[in-house]
Amino acid sequence: MADFDPEKFEDKYVHYFNELQKAYKNAFNRLNDRYDSELIHAIDQQILNESEPFYEGDGEFRIDLPENPVERVQGIVVKDEKVEEMLDIYVEEIETELRRVFGFESGNE
């Protein structure tokens, strides 16, 4: 955690690109093993590719999603409610992985 600097996180893609990539990849891999991989892949590629992580302070992160995220999912047949449910789980997993990667929380990687 000594390496994490909240001020540097404002320019996260310069200072923390590898850590961000690792957190998103860990979340993807974990969920892809547990849930419908087609839906996880669609959410990853069609919604989360335009998401933005923010550091909230006190070891907490927030993921901002693009507008109308559920409407972005194309190419698979799934109810909107299922997309919303999986998206909530996925965002929560990314936030957890960000806390782990940046040393605010221990866990399996």
Question: Could you read off the pLDDT of 24-78 as tens digits, one per residue?
Answer: 999 999 999 999 999 999 999 999 999 999 999 999 999 999 999 999 999 898 8
- Tell me the residue range of the domain where 40 lies: 6-101
pTM reported for the whole predicted model:
0.90
CA distance 60 to 86: 21
What pLDDT sits at residue 109? 45
Give the CB-side neighbour count of residue 51, counting CA atoms within 13 A: 25
Q: Is the pLDDT of residue 103 over 60?
A: yes
Domain-embedded: residue 106 = no
What pLDDT sits at residue 105? 81
Residue 108: which pLDDT band, with cuts at 50, 70 and 90?
low
Number of domains in the chain: 1
Domain-embedded: residue 107 = no
Domain-embedded: residue 73 = yes
Domain-embedded: residue 53 = yes
Domain-embedded: residue 1 = no
Domain-embedded: residue 108 = no
CA distance 100 to 80: 30
